Amino acid sequence: MSSPLRFGTDGWRAVIGFEFTGQNLLRVINAIHQWLEEAGEEGELVVGYDNRFNAELFAELTARRLSQLGWEVVLADRPTPTPVIAYTVMEREMAGGLMLTASHNQPHWLGLKLIPRGGVPAPSDTTARIEELIAEQRPDPDLVGRLISDPEPLRREDLSPPYLAHLERLIDFGAISELTQPIYLNYQHGAAIGWVAPLMAKHGIEVVELREDPDPLFGGCQPDPTRENLLADWADNQIEQGIMVAFDGDGDRVGILEDGTLYLTGNELIPLMGDFLLSRGQDGPLARNVATSHLVDRVSEAHGHRVMETKVGFKYLGPALLRGAVVAGEESGGISAREHVPDKDGIYSALRSLEAAARHGSFHLAMVRLWESYGESHAGRRDYRLAPEKKELCYRRLATLSSGEQFLGRRISAVNRLDGIKLIFGETTWICFRASGTEPVLRVYAEAETMGELEALQREAGGFIADL
């Protein structure tokens, strides 16, 4: 009996050479093929890949197997960001897309994201059915070798022209060009390399590229646009002032660091982008997951709409965009908009955010204006690698809490169990404990009115976990 393969928050991910093997990949591909047939799908499929170890080889294996099963398959001609695959599925009305990536995970991981028709990430009922079909697969030990040695040329395409043309229709590059600070594009050796700088140069915007060489080891770092990673790159490159825009491994998330002090990701960029688009005449609510800043709520409500709250994962936020949300996103920097594609896109989000900041001259001034209008807010996340029994103990202790009780010296006004356990202490202060669906960690999210209050809350939460 083959071992079970499970989909997490965003696709199937595993360690290369252990669970992620050619045999297991074919089990997943066969199951996806069966699911597509059950769904009555027909037409083209597109396959993409990032810069991870052997990602292109696994993408070729995927394309060859799907072709063997009767599908018309388009293979990206180079490492391609996940949002480009999603846009291609949507724009060409394809049956679906498959992306070989482990996103921001450590270098020894690889994975597969399924993007069904329409460009929305695969929902939970779809991945649950695929898991059932995977369990029924019986590996053919010789199939991987036969497919890899197949001399038949694959149909490769440059997927960039329609995607880049779409961005040019949406973004005011003239506004971005008015920013006076130097702009640094930090690709973290990922799939966004070569996709952003040429577009900026076409519109006369000079940029400095960092970590722009493809590297399956990502320079020895996890390709995640976190505050810590951006500060380290800022120091290593001896940057004095400017705007650093960083992307994760497959280009679907973004983080921004201005002048080495102001760090922005989803908690700040969603309300910033949302306010920008709503102020320009778009109408509708904003959407966020349960672990993202309530500043999003205040912006949405000020424009006449109650926020849409979802579980963590863009498979929940993509449908919110289809239901009318103007901007939807997560604290980790995965953001998109109704005018774009219903999957997160770090490139689009970076450009829209730069455009929004240009209206005020800088991200610092843009955030000051946002806080003056909607109230100051500071949110953050800390991750803890815990043994399974400690994680379970943490959840057991939190599960007994209810409104009116005390936790970390604060009175609980409400408990939200939509995804994890979120303890709300007031209008602007909360903390959320949630096990990651993509990594073996416990994530602790928090928000408070001031940075000092946030740091105190995070410190006390860390003490609670240490005492388990």
Q: Which residues contact 95 (CB under 8 A, 6 or more apart)?
A: 36, 41, 42, 43, 44, 45, 71, 116, 117
SS3 at position 243: strand
135 with 71, same domain? yes
Check residue 297 and give its pLDDT: 98
261 with 365, same domain? yes
d(CA 450, CA 455): 9
Instruction: Note whether residue 1 is domain-resident.
Output: no
Instruction: Note whether residue 404 is domain-resident.
Output: yes
pLDDT category at 446 given cuts 50, 70, 90 is very high
106 with 252, same domain? no
401 with 432, same domain? yes
Range of the domain at 111: 12-161
**pLDDT at 2 > cutoff 70:** no
**pLDDT at 413 > cutoff 90:** yes
Q: Which residues contact 149 (CB under 8 A, 6 or more apart)?
A: none
End-to-end C-alpha distance for the chain, whole angstroms: 37
365 with 384, same domain? no
CA distances (Å), origin 4, targets 127, 376, 382, 402: 13, 46, 30, 36
Number of C-beta neighbours around residue 317 at 10 A: 29
- For residue 418, the 8-state DSSP code is S
Identify the weakest region by mean pLDDT among 66-70, 90-94, 398-402, 426-430: 426-430
- For residue 55, the 8-state DSSP code is H
Let me know: does 394 contact 433? Beta carbons within 8 Å.
yes
CATH code: domain of residue 28: 3.40.120.10
**pLDDT at 190 > cutoff 60:** yes
369 with 318, same domain? yes
Instruction: Note whether residue 5 is domain-resident.
Output: no
Instruction: Note whether residue 460 is domain-resident.
Output: yes
Summarize pLDDT for 347-367 with one digit per residue, the tens. 999 999 999 999 999 999 999
- For residue 8, the 8-state DSSP code is B
200 with 346, same domain? yes
Instruction: Note whether residue 7 is domain-resident.
Output: no
Check residue 426 and give its pLDDT: 86
Check residue 10 and give its pLDDT: 86
Two structure tokens written together for 315? 């498979």
Q: What is the mean pLDDT of residues 171-179?
A: 98
Summarize pLDDT for 218-268 with one digit per residue, the tens. 999 999 999 999 999 999 999 999 999 999 999 999 999 999 999 999 999
Instruction: Note whether residue 4 is domain-resident.
Output: no
When the pLDDT of each residue in the chain is averaged and rounded to a whole number, the result is 96
400 with 339, same domain? no
pLDDT category at 1 given cuts 50, 70, 90 is very low
265 with 149, same domain? no
**pLDDT at 341 > cutoff 90:** yes
Check residue 438 and give its pLDDT: 66
Instruction: Note whether residue 197 is domain-resident.
Output: yes
Indicate the residue among 136, 161, 186 that finishes a domain. 161
pLDDT category at 427 given cuts 50, 70, 90 is confident
Instruction: Note whether residue 438 is domain-resident.
Output: yes
List residues bridging with 115 in a β-sheet: 97
72 with 206, same domain? no
Question: What radius of gyration, in Å, describes the C-alpha atoms of the chain?
Answer: 22
311 with 254, same domain? yes
148 with 175, same domain? no
**pTM: predicted TM-score of the whole model, two decimal places:** 0.95
Indicate the residue among 99, 133, 161 that finishes a domain. 161
Domains of the chain: total: 3
Indicate the residue among 374, 397, 420 that finishes a domain. 374
Two structure tokens written together for 303? 């424009």
DSSP 403-418: TTSEETTEE--EEE-S
CATH code: domain of residue 396: 3.30.310.50
Check residue 436 and give its pLDDT: 83
